[in-house]
Amino acid sequence: MLRYVLTRLLWIPVVLIGLSLITFGISRLVPGDPVKLAAGPQARPEQIQKLAAEFGLDRPLPEQYLRYMGGLVQGNWGYSIGNRRPVLPDLMTYFAATLELTVVATIMGLLFGIPLAVVAARWRDLWPDHVSRMVAIGAVSIPVFWIAIILQVMFGQVLHWFPVSGRYDPRQSYPQTYTGMLLVDTLLAGNVQGFFTSLRYMFLPALCQSLVVIALVTRQLRGDLLDMLRKDFVMVARANGIKERIIWTRYLMKNAMIATVAMLGFVIGFELGGNVLIEAVFDWPGIGQYATKAALMLDFQVIMGVTLFIGVVVVFVNLFTDVLYRLVDPRIRFS
């Protein structure tokens, strides 16, 4: 397994170089001048030229790319044209918010999706199965922004249970940050009130983001469980008088979860890229919203930084998923 992990790690620079070339080329083909946008409509030509020279955008494209990659190797991710701030600290701040939202949404999705799948497979073609399939199909069929707006109206404006935007109550002092994830930071600081405040602000966006996990886990796991029920080892276990509860928990779930783990690796990698619609509706300061603003401003340094950062995250998530296969099913061998 160690050899497999090292081989995958050695391929990361190759993947990132290819990703950087594609992103750099596409970002330079987009019509528009980011320097003019950043300088403002009243900027004089000499001011625009000075700003372009400051960010190295007046140099040939191959030289721009080599300078950027050279700085990247040294830990310099460049500066944003829009706010003149270093890209890497902003990336870490916005990504922490997206990571926290993704973790909570994934946990919520598993807590709802796994029981729904088990119920659907246990009582196949009966009303519990029909209800679970309706939930799964509805979760991916209805546009997520529409669901988000309905939840805001229902739980925010009508019932006043949860806030509808932002990440923390602006009327309270912002918690001291250690990791950038407010739920963790408030617990580390012993701030119980701040923890529940952060949880209230996170509940609605996490619920919306968890719908994809609920739908995919329910459909995937239900199908795998039904397939496992027809296997010989299940029939042998029942013939030997093993209790149904043990068959489902020890035999069926362990084998059926393999494909679900593979699917979760893809979903989590996608969510960590930033769910732009959810972050936009709930005004969640995540990396999706950060990338969207950069794209509208043609902020090349931020666009490159976000793309490469998410590329690294997705590679490591997929690597972790592959390693997790071995823990779920020891019969799997790495090649």
Domain ranges of the chain: 89-300
What is the predicted pLDDT for the residue at 105? Answer: 92
Residue 302 token pair: 């931020």
Candidates 281, 279, 277, 274; CA nearest to 149 is: 281
Is residue 269 within 8 Å of residue 313, measured between CB atoms?
A: yes
Is residue 48 within 8 Å of residue 266, measured between CB atoms?
A: no
What is the predicted pLDDT for the residue at 260? Answer: 81
One-letter-per-residue 3-state SS of 238-255: HHCCCCHHHHHHHHHHHH
What is the predicted pLDDT for the residue at 26? Answer: 77
State the fold for domain 89-300: MetI-like fold (1.10.3720)
Integer angstrom CA distances of residue 86 from 75, 79, 166, 272, 312: 11, 4, 24, 21, 19
Q: pTM, whole model, 2 decimals?
A: 0.84
What is the predicted pLDDT for the residue at 269? Answer: 77
pLDDT (tens, 9 = 90+) of the chain, 335 residues, equals 677 777 777 887 888 888 888 888 877 777 666 676 666 667 777 777 777 777 777 778 788 888 888 888 787 887 888 777 888 888 888 999 999 999 999 999 999 988 998 888 888 888 888 888 888 888 878 888 888 899 999 998 888 899 988 888 888 888 888 888 999 999 988 889 999 999 999 999 999 999 888 888 888 888 888 888 887 788 888 888 888 888 887 778 877 777 787 788 778 877 876 678 888 889 888 888 888 888 877 788 888 888 888 888 888 887 787 777 766 666 666 55
Phi, psi of 205 (to 5 degrees): -65, -35
Is residue 68 within 8 Å of residue 303, measured between CB atoms?
A: no
What is the predicted pLDDT for the residue at 131? Answer: 87
Residue carrying the six token digits 């196949």: 124
What is the predicted pLDDT for the residue at 202? Answer: 92
Integer angstrom CA distances of residue 238 from 7, 46, 121, 241: 43, 83, 17, 5
Candidates 206, 217, 182; CA nearest to 196 is: 182
**Rounded to whole angstroms, how far apart are CA atoms 298 and 301?**
9
What is the predicted pLDDT for the residue at 330? Answer: 62
Angle between helices 12-29 and 61-73 (to 10 degrees): 140
- Tell me how crowded residue 240 is: count the other CB atoms within 10 A of its CB: 7
Is residue 281 within 8 Å of residue 152, measured between CB atoms?
A: yes
